[in-house]
Structure 1
Amino acid sequence: MKKYTFILLLVLPICLYAVDKNPSEFSDIEKEQRYQEMTNELRCVVCQNQSVADSNAELAQDVRNLVRNKINQGETNQQITDFLVERYGDFVLYDPPLKPKTYVLWIGPLILILVAFMALLYFIRRHANMTADSSTLTDEERNKIKKALDE
């Protein structure tokens, strides 16, 4: 029975969704849309690859509550974003601004791709040189090869 349960758990996809523990209704649909957009644009600093809307971390719940409260207080998206960047740094944004602190985030992937491309070219050329057919055999060498193949 344990074997079948294990196989069933491997075969069936298990999806986990973030559940807002403090769901509160907004008085306006515009506020609800702003809330959804903001929580999808903010990165969970604990999970690092999930948005605040998708994360089950307690910190993500705190950020969702904070965003909800600030929207209800009438703050703009920019004010909320500035507050969160001041508190957690540029990493909280999925699209950090281009400034000296974030050059590595923006230029790093390009440098890695360039280095990988150069390494690929190096290995291709090296392989081509090593496997190049040298057709400059002397008559004596050709005769030795023929004798070796005939034997």
Structure 2
Amino acid sequence: MKKLSIILLFCCFPLMGYALDKPTIPFTEENQEHRFKALITELRCVVCQNQTLADSDAELAQDMRDLIREKMRAGESNEQITTFLTDRYGDFVLYNPPLKLKTAILWLAPFALILAALIFLFLFIRYHANTTTTPADLSEEEKNRLKQVLGE
């Protein structure tokens, strides 16, 4: 049993090294590091789709972070970098895509769905109110019979 656990431990060693990030060369200026961190939180990982570049562990996300780091060292602005990435990956790479004709459905679909649901609810309640009848009041004879049945 002890030998088996040692063998399993050694089998896991190669997997541990795979999960580590590649070492990066630090920025020379502190404001570049803040700018880098702010930028990678505004960009989406195209593999994970619901994570920022800062949160993603995907290899492509690491490559994109390295690319951004290189472009910042080359003196490019945030706008130039985001333009480059949107040209390459589309507006999907931005966590807050701009309102354009191509992205209008992303912005308007939630409001359209809520409006459709409210209209459906209004029509359902209206139809239900029109088709449901309220029972007529009981006559005195029926009221006496009911009291008799209930034992009052």
In which range does the TM-score fall when normalised by the shorter chain? 0.7 to 0.9
Counterpart in the other structure of 2:110: 109
> Under a length normalisation based on structure 1, what TM-score does the superposition of the two structures give?
0.74
Residue type of the partner of 2:33?
E
Deviations 1:37-83 (A, max 9, x none): 11000011111111011011111111101111100110000000000
Q: Over aligned residues, Cα RMSD in angstroms? A: 2.6
Matches for 1:94-133 after TM superposition, within 5 Å: 94-133=95-134
Query: Structure 2 regions of 5+ residues with no counterpart?
Result: 1-18
Residue 67 of structure 2 is matched in structure 1 by: 66
TM (norm. structure 2) is 0.73
Moved more, 117-126 or 58-67: 117-126
8 Å CA contact 1:22–1:65 kept in 2: the answer is no
Query: What is the alpha-carbon distance in structure 1 between the residues aligned to residue 20 and residue 38 of structure 2?
Result: 16
Q: Distance in 2 between matches of 1:52 and 1:121?
A: 43
Preserved CA contact (<8 Å) 1:43 1:91: yes
Which has the higher Rg, Structure 1 or Structure 2?
Answer: 2
Alignment of 1:2-151 (within 5 A): 20-134=21-135, 136=136
Give yes or no for contact 1:42–1:52 (8 Å, CA) kept in 2: yes
Q: What is the number of equivalent residue pairs in this alignment?
A: 131
* Aligned counterparts of 2:131 and 2:79: Cα–Cα separation in 1: 59
1:114 Cα deviation (Å)?
0.6
Percent identity of paired positions between Structure 1 and Structure 2: 50
5+ long unaligned stretches in structure 1:
1-17
Q: CA deviation at 1:148?
A: 8.0
Contact 1:42 1:92 in 2 (8 A): yes
1:6 corresponding residue in structure 2 = none
Cα 1:29–1:96 change in 2 (3 A) is same
User: What's the offset of the Cα at 1:121?
Assistant: 2.1
